[in-house]
Amino acid sequence: VTAMAAPFNPESLAEWKKWQRLQGLRDDEAEQYVHKYSVFTKKEIFDFWKEFVDYDLDGSGELDSLEIMSLFGKFGEPISLRAAKAIVSGFAEGEDGINFNAFLRVMYGIKTGTIDAKNMFVRAYVLQRATNENVLEMARTSSSYLTELSLANRKELGQDGRVYDALKFNSVLTSLDLSLCDLGPLHATDISEALLDNSQLTRLTLSHNPIGDEGFQKLASSLCMATDSRSAWEQVQDAKDEMQDLRRDYSSANSEYNKYLAELREMNGIIVQKNGNSSLLWRDQTARRRFEDMRKKKDSMLNELEVAGLREIDAVQYYAKQKGNAFLKELRCKNCYIYDEGGHMMAETLRWNRTLTVLDLGRNSIGHSGTIALAAALAHHPTLTSLNLEGNVFGSEAGKALAQMLRSNTCLTACYLADNSIADNGTEEFTEMLKVNTTLQSLDLSGNIVQADCALRFAKTISECQVTPIL
């Protein structure tokens, strides 16, 4: 009896069309690709073809910019149409899209390491296919594919302490997203400790995690540069530079000393006698004086090296007591169960931190006192350009404090304060603030309690300013 394969019974027309496309790569064509891209087996060629068919949504045989956008959505990294078009133009062999041969060429470049690891498509593709262990290894070894890492909603990996350990030494990762990973205070503490040793990460997203005040206070403190911590860091750098210069000068002086000593021996200018102790018998007093000067210079530089070494040790130890992360620019902690205590700790951090440019604390429960503390800390902050406090329901008095802060702040360009129960008296403060503030470009006051006449006065002021309102 001859066994017969079960017939293919598609459940939809789309499934039937996809099945037909899967049959589109013949065995002899696969063999030709194996010959062209010898690092792949025929099975791998067919696997790539299946991937390509999955990505080619319209069945055109090419990946166009819209399909690239859809693909990046699957990777968890949405991109703009303009970015998608740039990717297509970078890889396409024709004008319309990336055909299968071009797709294979990219896979070949990834396999052989001959393609730029910083390319957006290559990086996203590699990370999408990577296992948890692959990602951990890339983080540990500072892989060039891992300049940005999104672990949003990947709880197992997001909670893995090895990610935080790798962060201490990673030298390429600039952006890390740990949203929706169910991180608690202990995870936040581990991350804050990693931040103390990290000097590359500039964007950190921890939104929608129950880290609470306890965890957030640890994060905030890791970003808090003490009053003289920057001076301490500069002292460390100066001490290291001094040591480097002195080592170079001492090496040169020592080399010159040994070279002259060898010349004197060749010219029989000195006689070395060894009778328990080495001694020098000089034939030429001029040579002796020159030699003594060189030896004094070398010994003096050696003493300087020892003293400089002690200064470097002292500077490093002092900085270790003062240090805080001075590299993170964007911190997003939306919906992280942060209350007034967390607000006060961040306010203290902002008094000394001079690197944060984006702070997102939306949808938390930072109340009246925490918000007022933040407003006071931001009155003259020199780097923060975007502040999100939407949905904290801190009320009109705290809203008035923020409006007063915006009168003196000359750096913030975007402020999001929706859904905070800011009533008419608070809105009036924002109306007056807009008459003097010249840097704010976007202000969101939507979802607050504003009467019609107050809203009209606010709208009139807005029309006279170059500010984009959201009401």
Could you give the count of Cα atoms lying within 13 Å of 237 in the half-sphere of its Cβ? 6
Higher pLDDT, residue 74 or 405 = 405
The stretches of 366-451 forming alpha helices (DSSP H) are 368-378, 396-408, 424-434
Right CATH number for 13-129 from 1.10.760.10, 3.30.450.20, 1.10.238.10, 3.30.9.10? 1.10.238.10
CATH code, residues 376-471: 3.80.10.10
Assess whether pLDDT exceeds 90 at residue 203.
yes
Which amino acid is residue 471, in one-letter code? L
Whole-structure pTM value: 0.68
Beta bridge partners of 330: 203, 358
Q: How confident is the model over 84-89, as a mean pLDDT?
A: 87
Same fold, 130-225+329-366 and 376-471: yes
Residue 339 corresponds to which tokens in the numbers above? 């209350």
Assess whether pLDDT exceeds 60 at residue 7.
no
Three-state secondary-structure class, residue 77: coil
The pairing of beta strand 278-282 with beta strand 270-274: antiparallel
| Rounded-to-integer distance, Cα 316 and Cα 266, Å | 46
Beta bridge partners of 150: 177
Residue 61 corresponds to which tokens in the numbers above? 């045989």
| Rounded-to-integer distance, Cα 18 and Cα 419, Å | 47
Could you give the count of Cα atoms lying within 13 Å of 432 in the half-sphere of its Cβ? 15
Mind listing the pLDDT tens digit for each residue in 141-163? 988 878 889 899 999 999 999 99
Contacts of 40 (CB under 8 A, 6+ apart): 33, 34, 48, 104, 107, 108, 111
Contact between 324 and 226 under an 8 Å Cβ cutoff? The reply is yes
The backbone torsions φ and ψ at residue 410, rounded to the nearest 5 degrees and listed phi first, read: -115, 20
Instruction: Estimate to the nearest angstrom the gap between the alpha carbon of 433 and the chain centroid.
Output: 34
The backbone torsions φ and ψ at residue 401, rounded to the nearest 5 degrees and listed phi first, read: -65, -40
Q: How confident is the model over 236-241, as a mean pLDDT?
A: 83
For domain 130-225+329-366, give the fold.
3.80.10
User: How sure is the predictor about 451, in pLDDT bands with cuts at 50, 70 and 90?
Assistant: confident
Which value, to the nearest 10 degrees, does the dihedral of the CA atoms of residues 142, 144, 148, 153 take? -70
pLDDT of residue 398: 96
Residue 238 corresponds to which tokens in the numbers above? 């100066």
Contact between 288 and 202 under an 8 Å Cβ cutoff? The reply is no
Q: Which residue has the tokens 């930072």?
A: 366
User: How sure is the predictor about 291, in pLDDT bands with cuts at 50, 70 and 90?
Assistant: confident
Q: Which region among 30-39, 267-276, 312-321, 410-419 has the lowest average model confidence (pLDDT)?
A: 267-276
| Rounded-to-integer distance, Cα 416 and Cα 411, Å | 15
| Rounded-to-integer distance, Cα 33 and Cα 26, Å | 11
Q: Which residue has the tokens 């500072």?
A: 142
User: How sure is the predictor about 271, in pLDDT bands with cuts at 50, 70 and 90?
Assistant: low
Query: Could you tell me where the beta strands, DSSP code E, fall in 190-327?
Result: 203-205, 270-274, 278-282
Domain ranges of the chain: 13-129, 130-225+329-366, 229-322, 376-471
Mind listing the pLDDT tens digit for each residue in 315-337? 777 766 666 788 999 999 999 99
User: How sure is the predictor about 276, in pLDDT bands with cuts at 50, 70 and 90?
Assistant: very low
Could you give the count of Cα atoms lying within 13 Å of 99 in the half-sphere of its Cβ? 6
